[in-house]
Structure 1
Amino acid sequence: MSIKVRLIAMNFLQFFVWGSWLISLGGYMIVTLNFTGVEVGSIFSTMGIASLFMPAIMGIIADRFYNAERVLGFCHIVGALLLLVAANVTDYPSLYIIMLFNSMLYMPTIALANTVSYNALEKNGLDIVKSFPPIRVWGTVGFIFAMWIVDFLGWTKSANQLLVSGGAALILGLYSFTMPKRPPLKIKDSRSLANSVGLDAFVLFKNRKMAIFFIFSMFLGAALQITNLFGGSFLDDFKTVYPDSFGVQHPNLLLSISQISETLFILTIPFFLQKFGIKKVMMFSIIAWVLRFALFGIGNPGDGLYLLVLSMIIYGMAFDFFNISGSLFVEREADPKIRASAQGLFMIMTNGLGAFFGGILSGWVVDHFTTNGIRDWQSIWFSFAGYALLLAIIFPFIFKYNHVKEEKIRLSH
């Protein structure tokens, strides 16, 4: 079997594990377990907490002490056991602890899987820049496929979604040990702890432009997972009004349009960056978030289904134009000596602090507009849209950046 096929299988499973529960777990917790919005938000915020330090710690372990493919396998196997346990837990405190430890093990595997992939391609004499993107796109396919399986089996409001994820994680953990060996680096080549977590990149905060960019990255990062948290429970609340509608019957299929859109908008990023520059591209992203939430507020699975579908399509622009374009901006603006650390800092601000505060605050908003178990979803989504609109109004006035067209902007990986 060729190394590309083996890496496709690994990346497919890597995101299949996540896609099995990320979009539907919120609905399961609210509808089946009767958790509050704050409780659901806090469980999702564990991914933000884990992203603050665990990728760096596991990266150092893989750099200095153990083969990266073994660290990857260990994380997935232990994470699988935690998911299998979580499927049998119904109280909030226990589920929070279990999902916190699962996040601490899963979040580092995203970077570790990349490391293992790069190493395998290099060992086989393949160009990483050309070969990896077509392989990585299968990760998104795996994420979507997992959503569809959980949906078709009718498990979007069931703990079985955690069993599906745990089973896939166990298979991936064992499979990881068969990947080409990526031994620890020599000590002199290993990254320091400060470098790994992005601490030496904090010098960028002395630059007003970069400081504003990172602060807005945190604020915008808070919006990234909100529809993942509450999209499923939002659609489920229409079951009495539109019980036979597509969105109520197959929530994951409807929500998966967002991930499909994401894969398509990635291809447009080089054009938009070259044509408009990072400031306008970021503005497009923020405005897209406003529309994403507002369309949820006025749409429904019945005669308003087209509004929800439009929101799913817009998600691709909202997510990619912020996450990927922001990463490219950091890569171009940071000093070459601290580029890796700058990317680490970008992740801390978005997937760490941003995701943590987004999970907590969005849960509070949902609870605020919930009375006797009935959620006022229009007010909830409009609140999130108002938050994004406020960022859209402030951002262009305080982020100063003069775009200079380049002959060619290449999407780096």
Structure 2
Amino acid sequence: MNFLQFFVWGAWLITIANYWFGTKQWDGTQFGAIFSTMGIASLFMPTLMGIIADRWVNAERLYIGLHLLYAVCLIYLAQVTNPDSFFTVMLLAMCCYMPTLALSNSIAYSSLTKGNHDLIKAFPLIRVWGTVGFIAAMWLTNLTGNKATEYQFYIAAGGSIFLGIYAMFMIPKCPPQHLTKENAKLSELLGLEAFKLFGNYKMALFFIFSMFLGAALQLTNAYGDVFLSEFAFYPKYADSLVVERSTIIMSISQISETLFILAIPFFLKRFGIRNVMLFAMIAWVLRFGLFAYGDPSSGLWMIILSCIVYGMAFDFFNISGSLFVETSTDSKIRSSAQGLFMMMTNGIGAILGSQVSGWLIDKYYTKPFDTLAGLATRLETSTDNPKLLDFIAGKGVQITNGTFDSAIYLKDWQHIWLAFAIYTLVIVIAFSILFKHKHDPKDLENTGH
């Protein structure tokens, strides 16, 4: 279940930018809106589906239905021909998919508990197969030549249909637990009691930083693969491994995740929750900074190292942040508080990051080129290079006396990544100054971590 759960996401999440910018050639501001659909859906759908699973419908039935609907949305998405409709269909797809992340965890916890398994020991070994599934989907999309085609959505849809059918016959029943009192207040029913945590200075500060860092979490998922693919515009890099197998290179990030998960207990016990979160933020600065100066030849090591530090950047903040919430809140609102943490990172933070980055890149870091000489200089080649002329022809642009009949737009990736690096560096400095949390090893023992 975990393998397929993330397979159907990994088949398109990293490569959709190649489809958007390369095949469809739609603009960057609209692409930011596409990635914000995950955040919009995360604001309300997991909570809504959680209430339904808690009170009325078996979790596994809801899970099956949502995955089949997700598949239908993806099949239709592959046939959409304009960006506005694409946004609408993608939002519907995310409204179906995002709740299944929480439902898959609920189903796993329920099944493991019934089998008398130790959740702390058993679940991580199961959850890691989700990352394996994500990597497998990335490799399949790349190796089949579909990282810039609509078939990436068909691959994901096929996996989701298979998962739905598999779940019908193989996943144990998870009936409603009716844990919420019938006469509960609406705020309690919706998990809004956790918002009282904003009255606590330390918790409010933590959630605000979660939102700002959440804005950075999806940036490399959104733009990483297309960044590597666009090295094909440079004749000297056009045939490089990085260009041909960009998605596989990016999958090093997910492989790194599986390794850093194993290192988390050591770092938490040695350095404490606050410092581990700080390490994660520093890793984000390195992630973006290394991308800024990396290239497919002499700078290949920077690209590889950037993918490796991603594991620390992603895992250390998400897990240590979740643990901070676990050890700092009352048990009565702990689940709601965890939901609030996810809403601030994957909801509000993701929406802000996607929308602002899309606008920023389109407004300040996408440059037009009107002449052959100007483009050749930018791409570090000669005006008569056959690969350059093939690239121009592929854009459908005609050349008259060295001038293009329509502009060719290129992104200034180095300054894009540097802008993101500076943004996360500001977060690091502010967090280190403002957020104080004393490390107590007993916190880890009390929660069983």
> Would the TM-score normalized by the shorter structure come out above 0.5?
yes
Equivalent of residue 279 in structure 2, options 284, 287, 291 = 284
Task: Give the conservation status (yes or no) of the 8 Å contact 2:54–2:180.
Answer: no
Alpha-carbon RMSD across the aligned residues, in angstroms, is 1.8
In structure 2, runs of 5+ residues without a counterpart are: 369-408
1:230-289 CA deviation, whole Å, 9 max, x = no partner?
Answer: 112111211032111111001110000001111111111122122212222121111111
Residue 193 of structure 1 and its aligned partner are, at CA, apart by 5.9
Instruction: Say how many residue pairs are matched.
Output: 404
Counterpart residue number, 1:394:
430
CA distance 1:122–1:215, change in 2 (3 Å): same
CA distance 1:83–1:412, change in 2 (3 Å): farther
The 10-residue stretch of structure 1 (378-387 or 276-285) with the greater mean CA deviation from structure 2: 276-285
Task: Give the conservation status (yes or no) of the 8 Å contact 2:249–2:304.
Answer: yes
Counterpart residue number, 1:73:
64
* Structure-to-structure mapping, 1:218-297, within 5 angstroms: 218-241=211-234, 242-297=237-292
Structure number, greater radius of gyration: 2
Task: Give the conservation status (yes or no) of the 8 Å contact 1:56–1:197.
Answer: yes
* Structure-to-structure mapping, 1:71-110, within 5 angstroms: 71-110=62-101
Residue 338 of structure 1 and its aligned partner are, at CA, apart by 1.0
In 2, the alpha carbon distance for the partners of 1:327 and 1:181 equals 28
In 2, the alpha carbon distance for the partners of 1:168 and 1:304 equals 36
Task: Give the conservation status (yes or no) of the 8 Å contact 1:262–1:320.
Answer: yes
Task: Give the conservation status (yes or no) of the 8 Å contact 2:327–2:443.
Answer: no
Task: Give the conservation status (yes or no) of the 8 Å contact 1:331–1:339.
Answer: yes
Structure 1 residue 346 and structure 2 residue 341: aligned?
Answer: yes
CA distance 1:132–1:358, change in 2 (3 Å): same
Structure 1 counterpart of 2:354, which letter?
G
Equivalent of residue 383 in structure 1, options 369, 394, 419 = 419
Counterpart residue number, 2:149:
158
Residue 30 of structure 1 and its aligned partner are, at CA, apart by 1.0
Residue 411 of structure 1 and its aligned partner are, at CA, apart by 8.0
Counterpart residue number, 2:34:
43
User: What TM-score, normalized to structure 2?
Assistant: 0.87
Structure 2 counterpart of 1:59, which letter?
G
SS in 1 for 2:13: coil
1:14-38 CA deviation, whole Å, 9 max, x = no partner?
Answer: 0000000011111211111112111
Task: Give the conservation status (yes or no) of the 8 Å contact 1:144–1:259.
Answer: yes
* Structure-to-structure mapping, 1:310-321, within 5 angstroms: 310-321=305-316
Task: Give the conservation status (yes or no) of the 8 Å contact 1:195–1:341.
Answer: no
Residue 175 of structure 1 and its aligned partner are, at CA, apart by 1.8
Counterpart residue number, 1:214:
207
Counterpart residue number, 1:370:
366
Higher relative CO (CA 8 A, sep ≥ 6), structure 1 or 2? 1
CA distance 1:193–1:225, change in 2 (3 Å): farther
Task: Give the conservation status (yes or no) of the 8 Å contact 1:274–1:409.
Answer: no
In 2, the alpha carbon distance for the partners of 1:138 and 1:30 equals 31
Structure 2 counterpart of 1:84, which letter?
I
Structure 2 counterpart of 1:240, which letter?
F
Task: Give the conservation status (yes or no) of the 8 Å contact 1:198–1:343.
Answer: no
Counterpart residue number, 1:305:
300
SS in 1 for 2:296: coil
CA distance 1:206–1:382, change in 2 (3 Å): same
1:56-106 CA deviation, whole Å, 9 max, x = no partner?
Answer: 101111111111100000000011000001011131011100000100110
CA distance 1:54–1:188, change in 2 (3 Å): closer
User: What TM-score, normalized to structure 1?
Assistant: 0.94
Counterpart residue number, 1:57:
48
SS in 2 for 1:222: helix
Give the % identical residues.
53
CA distance 1:154–1:139, change in 2 (3 Å): same
CA distance 1:396–1:142, change in 2 (3 Å): same
Structure 2 counterpart of 1:180, which letter?
P
1:297-340 CA deviation, whole Å, 9 max, x = no partner?
Answer: 00012221110000000001111111111000110011111111
Task: Give the conservation status (yes or no) of the 8 Å contact 1:285–1:317.
Answer: yes
CA distance 1:189–1:14, change in 2 (3 Å): farther
